[in-house]
Amino acid sequence: MDTEIPKTAIAYIHSLGRFTGKPGLHRIRALCAALGDPQDRLQFVHIAGTNGKGSTACLTAAALRAAGLRVGLYTSPYLVQFYERIRVDGAMISDADLNRLAGRVAVACESLTLPAGESIGEFEFTTALAFLYFAEQGCDIVVLEAGLGGRCDATNVIRTTEVSVITPISLDHIAVLGDTVAEIAGEKAAIIKPGSAVVCADGQAAEAMVVLRHACEANGAAWQEPQDCRVLRCDLEGAAFVYSGQGYTISMPGRHQIQNAVTALRALDALRARGWDIPVEAAVRGLARARMPGRLERMVDQPLVLLDGAHNAAGIDALGRTVDELLKMRRLHIVMGMVQDKEYELCVRRMARRADAFYACAPAADGREVDAQTVADIAARDCAAVQACASVGDALDRAVSAAAPQDCVLVCGSLYLIGEVEKILRPRQKTAE
């Protein structure tokens, strides 16, 4: 590995590759050790699961910030800017800090002796860099989202955690994690540490719950029991609900976001039980302020343009239920693109059957994208008005041009697609302002 950082730290990090050796924690352990194990100077809320990790992490971090804590937030992937992945008190890491710390991590990589044919990968490098940054910034607590799975995920190098959070588990990344929900749950459950608290999102499959309960008991971890939740309102502006006798509001639409908010509140309950001072009113303020891009994000009002990064079966099902509930009175123009390592045929068909018009496109996904014509051919089985578009921008322009002011343009599928559309629409928003 060349320790000279080319052009930008981000270009260097991306050049390292996604999978660079046998699955395991040996590489990230060696790298963190070479950096002085910065993760050992931090305290964590560690979040794994198939769906809802990012939203749950965002909601949890917002509440902890409102309580006056200095909070690190580590998430993946990013939508528009790499810097989104590493935040302290809501502010993204600066380019100067990223470049400076990348230099340190690159030098540490050079000092390692790894098995033949193995090297530090992109996610391992970024995770180690984030630990350095959070320790340097004096974070009181870090909300840490696992990248892929749990057992062999680079974030699982941490030795202890205050709370282990498991969001809903379903089939995804089956080539890596296993082809049953129980197998995947076993991989996710590996983030549970001895003596930690454990929060498991409501609605888990029975076979996942068996695995998670067993992991909790085996580690002597404290299982956080759910409390009653009563939904007062759920619309395109967000939701209002009562949890454990207290009213809360969130700005992210969809009943699945209420579930994510309740999971975050249970994580806060678990922290309080461990001695953290988190006033209820801080949780109320934090959840109300939390924003997560690409989760039924409202970009334009007329026609209504929404972005949602649902890209696997469970995510598409949640999006479909929200569409059925909140958009049933609007004509629906769907812009959709997918990547090859997802259940793209199932996802496309489930959305196409809800569409009045469907615009297929291929996001730029490093060669992993499904071509637009393939997506269009799949969608045509369930929607009579389908177009294969030359680019993401072409698909978006066609959909917006065809939509009446009272219609909805829903952009969904791969997060690569959502990121591209964010880049297109953000400048237009600023111009409009």
Same domain, 238 and 350: no
pLDDT for position 177: 61
Domain extent at residue 361: 297-432
Q: Is the pLDDT of residue 179 over 90?
A: no
Mean pLDDT of 57-62: 98
- Domain end (from 226, 259, 289): 289
Name the residue with tokens 């710390």.
101
Same domain, 262 and 318: no
- Domain end (from 248, 270, 289): 289
pLDDT for position 149: 84
Q: How confident is the model at residue 6 (pLDDT cuts 50, 70, 90)?
A: very low
Same domain, 234 and 94: yes
Same domain, 283 and 325: no
pLDDT for position 386: 98
Same domain, 334 and 231: no
Count of structural domains, the chain: 2
Q: Which residue has the higher pLDDT, 2 or 340?
A: 340
Q: Is residue 106 part of a domain?
A: yes
Mean pLDDT of 29-48: 98
Same domain, 166 and 243: yes
Q: Is the pLDDT of residue 237 over 60?
A: yes
Q: What is the 3-state secondary structure (H, E, C) of the chain?
A: CCCCCCCCHHHHHHCCCCCCCCCCCHHHHHHHHHCCCHHHHCCEEEEECCCCHHHHHHHHHHHHHHCCCCEEEECCCCCCCHHHHEEECCEECCHHHHHHHHHHHHHHHHCCCCCCCCCCCHHHHHHHHHHHHHHHCCCCEEEEECCCCCCCCHHHHCCCCCEEEECCCCCCCHHHHCCCHHHHHHHHHCCCCCCCEEEECCCCCHHHHHHHHHHHHHCCCEECCCCCEEEEEEECCEEEEEECCEEEEECCCCHHHHHHHHHHHHHHHHHHHCCCCCCHHHHHHHHHHCCCCCCCEEEEECCEEEEECCCCHHHHHHHHHHHHHHCCCCCEEEEEECECCCCHHHHHHHHHCCCCEEEECCCCCCCCECCHHHHHHHHCCCCCCEEECCCHHHHHHHHHHHCCCCCEEEEEECHHHHHHHHHHHHHHHHHHC
Same domain, 155 and 282: yes
| Alpha-carbon gap, residue 350 to 334, rounded angstroms | 12
Same domain, 94 and 204: yes
pLDDT for 370-416, tens place per residue? 999 999 999 999 999 999 999 999 999 999 999 999 999 999 999 99
Q: Is residue 1 part of a domain?
A: no
Share of the chain above pLDDT 70, in %: 95
Same domain, 33 and 129: yes
Q: How confident is the model at residue 7 (pLDDT cuts 50, 70, 90)?
A: low
Q: How confident is the model at residue 428 (pLDDT cuts 50, 70, 90)?
A: low
CATH of the domain at 334: 3.90.190.20
CATH of the domain at 115: 3.40.1190.10
Q: Which residue has the higher pLDDT, 20 or 59?
A: 59
Q: Is the pLDDT of residue 1 over 80?
A: no
Q: Is residue 330 part of a domain?
A: yes
pTM of structure: 0.91
Q: Is residue 2 part of a domain?
A: no
Same domain, 103 and 229: yes
Q: Is the pLDDT of residue 100 over 50?
A: yes
pLDDT for position 47: 98
| Alpha-carbon gap, residue 21 to 60, rounded angstroms | 33
pLDDT for position 140: 98
- Domain end (from 256, 289, 322): 289
Q: Is residue 4 part of a domain?
A: no
Q: Is the pLDDT of residue 337 over 70?
A: yes
Same domain, 265 and 125: yes
Q: Is residue 418 part of a domain?
A: yes
Structure-token pair, residue 177? 């994690």
Side by side, which strands form the sheet with 238-243? 229-235, 238-243, 246-250
Same domain, 47 and 179: yes
Q: Is residue 42 part of a domain?
A: yes
Q: Is residue 76 part of a domain?
A: yes
